[in-house]
């Protein structure tokens, strides 16, 4: 599947860019979208696209407020330990899986308190959670994360730029060390039926990642795409 991160706050831009994508990720970690703007952007994403929000941080209130907007799923950044991953699961899901807070008078519950148990179960079953593993310590804890939390995870996202920066190497999918780590991640995740995603910087990267078996290929972000188009002109 192909998609991108969205940093813009213009609904028309979001609609235009998402029209030919499989998924679109509203980025609250690196973008400036308020919760009100994020809600408008969600409504503007093409209907064929899966709608994700990358939360700004792995904190209960941030995750709670973003989930009240009813995206298809969230991505939680800066996962550097098993404890971080456990917190992300805990904050994302209702009991008995996690400890997400409940207010029935919100969008996800159609603003009423009827059939609460069924609604919670449905949300827990359908909500997609992705973890952005962006440091060496996060990859060191990957076996523990996969062994204990896999049934609640939909996606492991390989944070190319942050990981390469932490290792003092170029963020380039021609790098054998990066490709091996990604291949190992794909192999381990696939055994637990978890998808893997990462970023492509070029069309050649897309081919490389496709051949490696990456499920969620993120091409640049919306502003990177626009900048690339203007440079070509």
In degrees and rounded to multiples of 5, residue 212 shows phi and psi of -80, -15
The per-residue pLDDT for 167 is: 85
Q: What is the mean pLDDT of residues 44-70?
A: 97
Region class of 153: left (phi > 0), else alpha (psi between -120 and 50), else beta: beta
pLDDT > 90? residue 120:
yes
Q: What is the mean pLDDT of residues 44-56?
A: 97
Of 210, 214, 154, the closest CA to residue 182 belongs to: 214
Percent of the chain with pLDDT strictly greater than 70: 100
Q: Which residues pair with 158 in a beta bridge?
A: 133, 198
Q: What is the mean pLDDT of residues 184-209?
A: 97
pLDDT > 90? residue 135:
no
Distance, in Å, from the CA atom of 213 to the CA atom of 215, rounded to the nearest integer, reads: 6
The per-residue pLDDT for 207 is: 96
Q: What is the mean pLDDT of residues 67-83?
A: 96
| pLDDT band at 158; cut points 50, 70, 90 | very high
The per-residue pLDDT for 23 is: 98
The per-residue pLDDT for 136 is: 83
Question: How many beta carbons lie within 10 A of that of residue 185, not counting itself?
Answer: 22
Distance, in Å, from the CA atom of 69 to the CA atom of 39, rounded to the nearest integer, reads: 6
């Amino acid at each position: 599947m192909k998609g991108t991160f969205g940093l813009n706050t213009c609904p028309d831009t979001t609609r235009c860019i998402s029209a030919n994508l499989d998924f679109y990720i509203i980025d609250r970690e690196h973008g400036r979208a308020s919760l009100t703007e994020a809600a408008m952007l969600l409504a503007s994403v093409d209907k064929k696209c899966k709608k994700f929000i990358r939360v700004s941080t792995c904190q209960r209130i941030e995750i709670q407020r973003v989930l009240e907007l009813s995206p298809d799923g969230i991505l939680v950044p800066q996962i550097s330990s098993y404890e971080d991953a456990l917190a992300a699961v805990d904050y994302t899901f209702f009991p008995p899986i996690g400890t997400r807070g409940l207010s029935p008078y919100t969008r996800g519950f159609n603003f009423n308190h009827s059939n609460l148990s069924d609604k919670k179960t449905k949300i827990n079953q359908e909500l997609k959670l992705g973890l952005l593993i962006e440091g060496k310590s996060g990859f060191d804890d990957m076996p523990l994360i996969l062994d204990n939390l896999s049934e609640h995870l939909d996606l492991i996202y390989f944070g190319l730029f942050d990981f390469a920066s932490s290792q003092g190497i170029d963020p380039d999918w021609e790098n054998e060390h990066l490709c091996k780590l990604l291949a190992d991640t794909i192999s381990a995740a696939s055994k637990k039926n978890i998808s893997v995603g990462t970023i492509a910087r070029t069309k050649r990267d897309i081919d490389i990642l496709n051949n490696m078996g990456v499920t969620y290929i993120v091409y640049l972000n919306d502003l990177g795409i626009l900048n690339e188009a203007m440079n070509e002109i």
